[in-house]
């Protein structure tokens, strides 16, 4: 029985690693550029790698560099990071509904690796997710993020700019690749994605709301609206 | 290494980890009311929409860059391609566009 359990754990981990490959590819150009920017901002190689190791949040790390250049204080940078990461609260709550019942320390361990990308991949996986799967997924994503940050600091200037530019689309393409197959199956998904996209555009570009709040509010608004509507129209619709 | 930078990084790490961990810890073995469960099940699809738009269209000053990347990813994904293929195809299309 013990070996069967280990085999299951191993196959979940491997499945996670496989699912994480597209994230690993997508993180490369972003982390490479981060490393390069960190260098021009005046961070040492170790400070740069340490930030990727400890924080592991792309958007926050970019903004931290921006604010450092502007001479903003550390406390304000931490506060900005917090506001930007409130969306992960929403993601972790959604992931919790999909998580297998496991010990708290395992969940607390993989919680460290919940990013926009690892969350999206895990959430679109059919069925439940367990800690082994999450750790496999995070292992390759985190590895790529940390290593590419360091590489970017060391050789960033020598990378061809055109390739970096065209690779910047990678994560968006991944999100589209995750969304489109489910979009084809359920009309509800079309509403959710399109409404949230519209709200997000209005809040960001029209009302100039801060990035952190805009994504949380547009996601919540779309999710609650569609849920209220779905409940009214057909109680039995339990396809999702 | 400068201590102010180190402390800033540690602070950033903490405020990043807490929102990621808190719901898993607080709702550990808690069953939420059905409506809330439904809302949370909607979140992944909504957040994907918001993560893609408007971001992809603001990637470059040239708006066609994002449009081309968007369309090629949607077309390739529509035909049921593996995610890695979707990613590589759109990178390839944009590389070709940059060269032309």
pLDDT tens digits, A178-216: 899 888 888 899 999 999 999 999 999 999 988 888 888
- In a shared domain, residues B5 and B49: no
Dihedral sign, Cα of residue A139, residue A107, residue B52, residue A35:
negative
For A105-123, b/e burial (b = at least 16 CB within 10 A) is: ebbbebbbbbbbbbbbbbb
The yes-or-no verdict on residue A45 having pLDDT over 90 is yes
Confidence (pLDDT) at A138: 97
Structure tokens given for A106:
């395992």
The yes-or-no verdict on residue A3 having pLDDT over 70 is no
B 11-40 residues with CB < 8 A to A: 11-13, 15-17, 19-25, 27-29, 32, 35, 37-40
The closest CB to that of A112, out of B6, B17, B88, belongs to B17
- Contact: A219, B97; criterion CB under 8 Å: no
Domain ranges in chain A are: 2-167, 186-240
The yes-or-no verdict on residue A170 having pLDDT over 90 is no
pLDDT tens digits, A88-118: 999 999 999 999 989 999 999 999 999 999 9
- In a shared domain, residues B22 and B53: no
Q: For residue B53, is it within any domain?
A: yes
The yes-or-no verdict on residue A122 having pLDDT over 50 is yes
The closest CB to that of B24, out of A107, A176, A205, belongs to A107
Q: Which helix (H) or strand (E) holds B18?
A: helix B3-26
Q: Which helix (H) or strand (E) holds A181?
A: helix A170-185
Confidence (pLDDT) at B93: 93
pLDDT tens digits, A124-135: 999 999 999 999
Number of neighbouring beta carbons within 10 Å of residue B50: 31
Average pLDDT of every residue of chain A? 88
Domain boundaries, position B24: 1-30
Give the three-class secondary structure for A99. strand
- In a shared domain, residues B25 and B62: no
Per-residue confidence band for A29, with pLDDT thresholds at 50, 70 and 90: confident
The yes-or-no verdict on residue A226 having pLDDT over 90 is yes
- In a shared domain, residues B94 and B47: yes
Judged by a CB distance cut-off of 8 A, whether residue A168 touches chain B is: yes
The highest-confidence range among A24-33, A108-117, B28-37, by mean pLDDT, is A108-117
Confidence (pLDDT) at A161: 74
Could you give the CA distance from residue A21 to residue A144 in angstroms, rounded to a whole number? 9
Judged by a CB distance cut-off of 8 A, whether residue A95 touches chain B is: yes
- In a shared domain, residues B26 and B59: no
pLDDT tens digits, B63-82: 899 999 999 999 999 998 88
Judged by a CB distance cut-off of 8 A, whether residue B71 touches chain A is: no
Q: For residue B37, is it within any domain?
A: no
- In a shared domain, residues B24 and B51: no
- In a shared domain, residues B48 and B91: yes
Could you give the CA distance from residue B30 to residue B28 in angstroms, rounded to a whole number? 5
- In a shared domain, residues B47 and B88: yes
Confidence (pLDDT) at A234: 52
Q: For residue B93, is it within any domain?
A: yes
| Contacts of residue B33, Cβ cutoff 8 Å, sequence gap at least 6 | none
* Conformational region of residue A40, where left means phi above 0, alpha means psi within -120 to 50, and beta covers everything else: alpha
Could you give the CA distance from residue A139 to residue A212 in angstroms, rounded to a whole number? 26
Confidence (pLDDT) at A107: 94
Higher-confidence residue of B57 and A164: namely B57
Confidence (pLDDT) at A233: 59
Query: Could you report the predicted ipTM of this complex, rounded to two decimals?
Result: 0.91
Confidence (pLDDT) at A123: 94
**Residues of chain A neighbouring B39 (CB-CB closer than 8 A):** 220, 223-224, 227
Tally C-beta pairs within 8 A across A and B. Answer: 278
**Residues of chain B neighbouring A92 (CB-CB closer than 8 A):** 19-24
| Number of domains into which chain B is organized | 2
Confidence (pLDDT) at A200: 95
**Residues of chain B neighbouring A101 (CB-CB closer than 8 A):** 29
Q: How far is B33 from chain A (nearest CA, A)?
A: 12
Tokens 């195809």: give the residue.
B89
Per-residue confidence band for A236, with pLDDT thresholds at 50, 70 and 90: very low
């Amino acid at each position: 029985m013990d070996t069967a359990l280990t085999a299951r754990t191993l196959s979940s981990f491997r499945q996670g690693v496989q699912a994480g490959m597209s994230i690993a590819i997508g993180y490369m150009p972003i982390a490479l550029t981060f490393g390069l920017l960190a260098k021009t901002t005046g961070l040492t190689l170790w400070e740069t790698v340490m930030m990727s190791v400890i924080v592991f949040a792309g958007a926050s790390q970019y903004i931290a560099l921006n604010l450092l250049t502007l001479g903003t204080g550390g406390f304000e940078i931490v506060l900005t990071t917090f506001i930007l990461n409130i969306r992960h609260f929403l993601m972790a709550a959604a992931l919790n509904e999909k998580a297998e019942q496991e010990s708290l320390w395992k969940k607390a361990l993989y919680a460290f690796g919940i990013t926009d990308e690892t969350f999206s991949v895990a959430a679109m996986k059919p069925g439940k997710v367990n800690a082994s799967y999450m750790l496999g997924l995070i292992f390759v994503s985190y590895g790529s993020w940390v290593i590419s940050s360091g590489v970017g600091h060391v050789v960033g200037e020598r990378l061809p700019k055109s390739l970096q530019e065209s690779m910047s689309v990678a994560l968006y393409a991944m999100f589209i690749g995750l969304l489109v197959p489910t979009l084809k199956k359920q009309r509800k998904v079309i509403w959710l994605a399109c409404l949230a996209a519209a709200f997000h555009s209005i809040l960001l570009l029209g009302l100039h709301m801060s990035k952190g709040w805009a994504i949380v509010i547009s996601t919540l608004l779309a999710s609650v609206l569609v849920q209220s509507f779905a409940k009214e129209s057909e109680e039995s619709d339990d396809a999702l | 290494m400068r201590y102010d930078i180190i402390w800033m990084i540690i602070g950033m790490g903490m405020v990043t980890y807490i929102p990621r961990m808190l719901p898993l810890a607080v709702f550990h073995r808690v069953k939420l009311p059905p409506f809330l469960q439904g809302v949370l099940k909607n979140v992944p699809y909504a957040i994907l929409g918001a993560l893609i738009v408007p971001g992809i269209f603001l990637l470059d000053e040239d708006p066609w860059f994002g449009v081309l990347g968007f369309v090629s990813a949607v077309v390739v994904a529509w035909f049921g391609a593996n995610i890695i293929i979707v990613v590589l195809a759109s990178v390839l299309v944009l590389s070709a566009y940059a060269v032309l």
